[in-house]
């Protein structure tokens, strides 16, 4: 089973560019519920774990994500994602991160994890293009692109 890592702010939590349900970007609830059928879903964010858990409880998605990794002092996202991969005995090269910043793309690449970058988040579009991540333009196409990308990572 493959792991899909999601950032919160800008990916799941709206920055105001698309319609929302309680702050959740439209379609994201359907997307993650569909993906959880065949994949391990993990949130990795610099937000505190308690803030993330509060938000996913509000969205009624607390059973969808197997792990919630919040910002921890002295730990970066690269190490945190690798720890989850090792816990599940999953090769990082078969995993995917969905993010909205070039910095996260870089951190995922350090872990040998492929990336998708969403255009509706906080990240600068030009920086995301330069990062060579696959760029997703709107939430409606995200599920299809994730499914296509994940097939290439086995």
* Count of the separate structural domains present in the chain: 1
Q: CA-based Rg of the chain, rounded to a whole angstrom?
A: 14
For strands 24-25 and 20-21, give the pairing: antiparallel
The vertex-67 CA angle with 81 and 94, nearest 5°, equals 45
| Residue 36's CATH number | 3.40.50.1000
- Give the mean model confidence (pLDDT) for residues 57-77: 90
The predicted-structure confidence for 78-136, as pLDDT tens digits, reads as follows: 999 999 999 999 999 999 999 999 999 999 999 999 999 999 999 999 999 999 999 99
Q: Where in the chain does DSSP place strands (E)? A: 2-6, 20-21, 24-25, 39-44, 67-69, 96-99, 114-118, 134-136
User: Which residues is 43 bridged to in the sheet?
Assistant: 6, 68
**Residue range(s) defining the domain that contains residue 95:** 2-151
The predicted-structure confidence for 27-37, as pLDDT tens digits, reads as follows: 999 999 999 99
Record the tokens describing residue 30, joined without a space. Answer: 């359907």
Mean confidence (pLDDT) of the chain: 93
CA distances to 54, 105, 127 from 117, rounded to whole Å, are 24, 8, 10
pLDDT for the residue numbered 62: 92
Low-confidence winner among 13-27, 45-59, 116-130 (lowest mean pLDDT):
13-27
């Amino acid at each position: 089973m493959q792991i899909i890592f999601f950032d919160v702010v800008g990916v799941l939590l709206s920055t105001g560019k698309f319609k929302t349900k309680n702050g959740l970007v439209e379609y994201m609830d359907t997307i993650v519920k569909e993906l959880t059928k065949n994949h391990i879903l993990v949130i990795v964010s610099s937000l505190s774990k308690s803030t993330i858990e509060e938000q996913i409880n509000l969205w009624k998605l607390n059973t969808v994500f197997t792990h919630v990794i919040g910002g921890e002092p002295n730990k970066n996202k690269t190490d945190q994602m690798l720890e989850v991969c090792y816990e599940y005995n999953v090769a990082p090269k078969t995993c995917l991160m969905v993010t909205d910043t070039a910095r996260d793309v870089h951190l995922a690449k350090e872990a040998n994890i492929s990336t998708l970058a969403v255009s509706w988040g906080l990240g600068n579009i030009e920086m995301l293009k330069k990062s060579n991540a696959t760029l997703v333009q709107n939430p409606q196409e995200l599920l299809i692109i994730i499914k296509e990308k994940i097939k290439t990572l086995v």
